[in-house]
Amino acid sequence: NAGVTQTPKFQVLKTGQSMTLQCAQDMNHEYMSWYRQDPGMGLRLIHYSVGAGITDQGEVPNGYNVSRSTTEDFPLRLLSAAPSQTSVYFCASSYEGHYGYTFGSGTRLTVV
Amino acid sequence: RKEVEQDPGPFNVPEGATVAFNCTYSNSASQSFFWYRQDCRKEPKLLMSVYSSGNEDGRFTAQLNRASQYISLLIRDSKLSDSATYLCVVNEAAGNKLTFGGGTRVLVKP
């Protein structure tokens, strides 16, 4: 099993550009989440999903969209990139939230 | 007040020594608790869940005190490879929203 796979690993965007961060898991996990990690801020929840077709906002959802058309995939879309979105993004999945989450290796995004 | 608070450290620990640190949480309805380990520029990895009765995994012992709303992690016989940032993580009653503490950095030195 590959676990949680995130692509790309690194990305540089110009202000105003849009892009999609990909996240896929092969563990048949229902729960998936996106986090961003900034120095001094810890990990903060952007959006999460408890199953295909179901998504909800986390702590910092502004500027991001998600969809969950399949159990395996949970892409994160940046609509119009801003320098404040420069961060490391982690996708995570869990069979059921109380059992802990498995994280992908992250995407390092720089917006210039 | 942050929902999950940790002493950022660093805790400088001689190899072979014991180190312990706590994490406090504000939501009394929180249902599940975890310690994650994060190495520099890597993803967080689950170290252990924390159960009400306390639990042990090798050199690591976790405790939960619901009355005072804190969890603790103790590392015995510290190894150089234990150097990392340890993240306290709390899962809300909804079962899916993890809240992370800022992390406690541990440096084990020879």
Cα(A92)–Cα(B92) distance, integer angstroms: 16
- Using a CB-CB cut-off of 8 Å, the residues of chain B touching A58 are 97
DSSP for residue B87: E
The answer for B 59-98 residues in CB contact with A (under 8 A) is 87, 91, 94-98
Residue B78 clears pLDDT 90, i.e. is over it: yes
Contact B54, B35 (CB under 8 A): no
What's chain A's average pLDDT?
94
Question: What pLDDT, on a 0 to 100 scale, did the predictor assign at position A40?
Answer: 76
Q: CB A97 to CB B91 under 8 A?
A: yes
What's chain B's average pLDDT?
93
Dihedral (Cα; A27, A32, B94, B3), 10-degree rounding: 120
Question: What pLDDT, on a 0 to 100 scale, did the predictor assign at position B51?
Answer: 86
Give tens-digit pLDDT for A46-62: 999 999 999 999 999 99
Interface residue A105 vs chain B (CB under 8 A): yes
Interface residue A96 vs chain B (CB under 8 A): yes
Question: What pLDDT, on a 0 to 100 scale, did the predictor assign at position A67?
Answer: 96
Cα(A109)–Cα(A41) distance, integer angstroms: 16
Give the phi and the psi of residue B93 in degrees, each rounded to 5. -55, -30
